[in-house]
A and B are shown apart, each in its own frame.
Chain A
């Protein structure tokens, strides 16, 4: 079963608009972390934002915020004021703390975001 589901293979947004990239996750572990990474066409993986399962508030990092809805098991990434340089693949990932998976990151399939002028 998929641990991380990203249902949007591709998204378009106009420059300066906000966009939400969806991520749902599946875990029975009460302690876990959720991450978003950006992968531009050059291929590197850039860490964007982190949300811990026990964090009371939604994480924010500059123009990135994470809409964390624990009961719904969703951790959507919101990018405000999109810029052309935001065009990239975006991956949601989860780290569970249990004896089987240790601390490996489990990634979703990604969402390709294209920002248009």
Chain B
């Protein structure tokens, strides 16, 4: 069964450093999403992406964040200058269309020291 994959599974970085989280969505899906989950809290929406552009973003997704689909398979989330409060689990998700179920990847646990 096709699934969303994410790399790395864990990332530890120093405050102020740039990180890139990578995702490979399910191959025939057209909509891509990033969510985050701070430890012990609920899952929060960051951004959705369709047709090579952002279709929606939350208040969390400020200028420090960017997303890109550099090729036909990868979907990346970049945090330019990480802060301590960026420590969280970051989930990528994809769906075949925007009204359909979103399937989540296994997540990347980001720790900012």
Contacts and interface: CB of A to CB of B under 8 A. Distances in A.
A103 B43 contact: no
A43 B99 contact: no
Contacts of B48: 102-104
A35 B101 contact: yes
Contact of A102 (B98, B102, B107): B98
- The binding surface of chain B is classed by DSSP as strand
Contacts of B42: 91, 107-110
B51 to A, nearest CB: 14
Interface of B: 31, 33, 35, 41-45, 48, 55-56, 58, 89, 91, 93, 98-99, 101-107, 109
B56 A102 contact: yes
Interface of A: 33, 35, 37, 42-47, 50, 91, 93, 95, 97, 101-110
Contacts of A33: 99
A42 B10 CA distance: 12
Contact of B44 (A45, A97, A107): A107
A107 B99 contact: no
10 contacts: A35-B102, A42-B106, A45-B43, A45-B91, A91-B42, A101-B56, A102-B56, A103-B56, A105-B35, A108-B42
